[in-house]
């Protein structure tokens, strides 16, 4: 079920709206809302594209999507429990106008679960308004130490086949020079355009893909760290842990603690 199909979010005459689903199914269509949006993954994992950047939401993580940000959901785990909370935003505080992905601390987790009692409530409720106003007012404090994991999707059409190849073969050893044939560009030109579009070199982009994919494996709960390292294309746990630490600034073991 998609919230856009059955409820016109921007037509609701209430400052907040809570939507919880046991198994949320999206339709992969770009859209936006006048309200800001907090998306919390209670279980499973979800990919979401916001303003041409692709983010991963592992279990027990959330993303704040600013008002009017163009976004769509992408692939997700077979079963996913999502809580989506919409809020009117009147403040100019910078936090509310930027995308933020973060691990949800226990206090906020309990507040989100408590708010489930108002799921799909169409009429304004004073108690809901007071509670959710407090939650959203405190949101910047809850995410002060957040880390964002995302990759930018390039707009330059010459990079389309390069991106498709990297996404399909991220776990393989790729000779980056060979990708210039797919873009019909010299390798030097390809590297320059690619870094301008994504902020990353080709090899760093592959590393980011591997780490983000590994977060998906870890958050599924079906893979050990050793199995995850192999599935993400690393030849040893040590190589994977070093790579993970350099990107995330903490270890795979630390990440597992955030999703339990």
DSSP 183-201: HTS-HHHHHHHHHHHHSS-
Measured CA to CA, the distance from residue 118 to residue 125 in angstroms comes to 9
C-beta of residue 197 within 8 angstroms of C-beta of residue 159: yes
Q: What DSSP element (H or E) covers 134?
A: helix 126-142
Structure tokens, 212: 């983000």
Residue pLDDT, tens place only, 166-194: 988 999 999 999 999 999 999 999 999 99
Lowest-confidence segment of 12-26, 164-178, 203-217, 244-258 by average pLDDT:
12-26
**Residue 152 bridge partners (DSSP):** 53
Q: For the whole prediction, is pTM greater than 0.85?
A: no
Nearest one of 10, 56, 18 to 38, comparing CA atoms: 18
Task: Report which of residues 3 and 102 the model is more confident about.
Answer: 102
* Domains identified in the chain and CATH numbers: 3-142 (2.60.120.280), 155-259 (1.10.10.60)
Q: Where are the beta strands (DSSP E) in 139-188?
A: 150-152
Measured CA to CA, the distance from residue 115 to residue 85 in angstroms comes to 9
pLDDT greater than 70 at residue 137: yes
Nearest one of 74, 69, 83, 62 to 16, comparing CA atoms: 83
Residue pLDDT, tens place only, 107-125: 899 999 999 999 999 998 9
Measured CA to CA, the distance from residue 43 to residue 24 in angstroms comes to 11
Instruction: Tell me the mean pLDDT in the region 7-29.
Output: 82
Q: Identify the residue whose tokens are 């199914």.
A: 25
């Amino acid at each position: 079920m998609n919230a856009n199909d059955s409820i016109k979010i921007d037509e609701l005459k209430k400052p907040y709206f809570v939507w919880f689903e046991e198994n949320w199914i999206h339709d992969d269509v770009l859209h936006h809302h006048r309200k800001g949006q907090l998306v919390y993954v209670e279980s499973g994992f979800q990919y979401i594209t916001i303003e041409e950047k692709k983010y991963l939401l592992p279990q027990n993580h959330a993303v704040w999507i600013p008002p009017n940000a163009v976004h769509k959901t992408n692939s997700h785990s077979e079963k996913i429990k999502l809580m989506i909370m919409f809020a009117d935003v009147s403040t100019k505080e910078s936090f509310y106008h930027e995308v933020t992905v973060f691990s949800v601390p226990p206090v906020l987790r309990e507040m989100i679960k408590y708010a489930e009692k108002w799921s799909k409530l169409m009429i304004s409720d004073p108690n809901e308004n007071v509670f959710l106003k407090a939650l959203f007012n405190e949101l910047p404090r809850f995410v002060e130490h957040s880390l964002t994991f995302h990759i930018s999707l390039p707009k330059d059409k010459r990079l389309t086949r390069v991106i498709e190849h990297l996404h399909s073969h991220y776990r393989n050893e790729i000779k980056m020079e060979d990708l210039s044939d797919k873009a019909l560009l010299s390798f030097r030109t390809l590297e320059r355009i690619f870094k301008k579009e994504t902020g990353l070199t080709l090899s760093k982009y592959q590393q980011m893909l591997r780490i983000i994919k590994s977060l998906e494996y870890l958050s599924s709960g079906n893979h050990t760290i050793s199995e995850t390292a192999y599935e993400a294309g690393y030849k040893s746990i040590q190589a994977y842990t070093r790579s993970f630490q350099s990107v995330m600034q903490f270890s795979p073991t630390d990440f597992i603690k955030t999703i339990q």
